[in-house]
Amino acid sequence: MKQPASWIAGHGCICASGNTSVTCYEGALNGCARFLLPKHRVESAYTSGYPVFLVDPAVVLSCPKDQSLSLHFFLTAAKESFAQAGLEPAQLTDKKVGVIVGTSVDASFHCLNVYKNWRNHNTSPQDIVELSHYFASATAQAVSRYFGFSGPFQTIVTACASGTDAIGLADSWIRQGWCDAVLCGGTDEMNLIPYDGFIRLLIASKEKCKPFDKNRNGINIGEGAAAMLLTSQALAKELNLTPKGYVLGYGNSCDAYHPTAPDPQAKGLKQAISFALQEGNLSATDLAFCNAHGTASPANDAAEACAFKEILPALPVWGSKGVTGHTLGAAGAVEAVLTLEALNHQVVPPTWGFAEMDEQIGFSPTQNKLKIHKRAAISTSLAFGGCNAALIIGAQDYGH
Q: In terms of C-beta density within 10 A (0-12 exposed, 13-18 middle, 19 or more buried), how is residue 75 classed?
A: buried
Q: What mean pLDDT is predicted for residues 251-279?
A: 90
- Specify the pLDDT at position 250: 97
pLDDT band at 1 (very low <50, low <70, confident <90, very high): low
Task: Classify 162 as helix, strand or coil.
Answer: helix
Q: What mean pLDDT is predicted for residues 165-183?
A: 97
- Specify the pLDDT at position 346: 98
pLDDT exceeds 90 at position 303: yes
Over the chain, what is the mean pLDDT? 93
Question: What residues are paired with 181 via a beta bridge?
Answer: 97, 231
- The better pLDDT of the pair 187, 132 is held by 187
- The better pLDDT of the pair 29, 265 is held by 29
Which of 361, 384, 381 has the alpha carbon at shortest distance from 306?
Answer: 361
| Distance separating alpha carbons of residues 186 and 203, to the nearest angstrom | 23
Query: What is the chain's length?
Result: 400
- Specify the pLDDT at position 260: 75
- Specify the pLDDT at position 261: 80
Q: Is the dihedral of CA 8, 277, 297, 342 positive or negative?
A: negative
| Distance separating alpha carbons of residues 269 and 309, to the nearest angstrom | 12
| Distance separating alpha carbons of residues 205 and 220, to the nearest angstrom | 6
Q: What mean pLDDT is predicted for residues 378-398?
A: 94
Q: What mean pLDDT is predicted for residues 15-41?
A: 97
All domains in the chain, ordered by first residue: 6-394 (3.40.47.10)
| Distance separating alpha carbons of residues 120 and 116, to the nearest angstrom | 6
pLDDT band at 174 (very low <50, low <70, confident <90, very high): very high
- Specify the pLDDT at position 181: 98
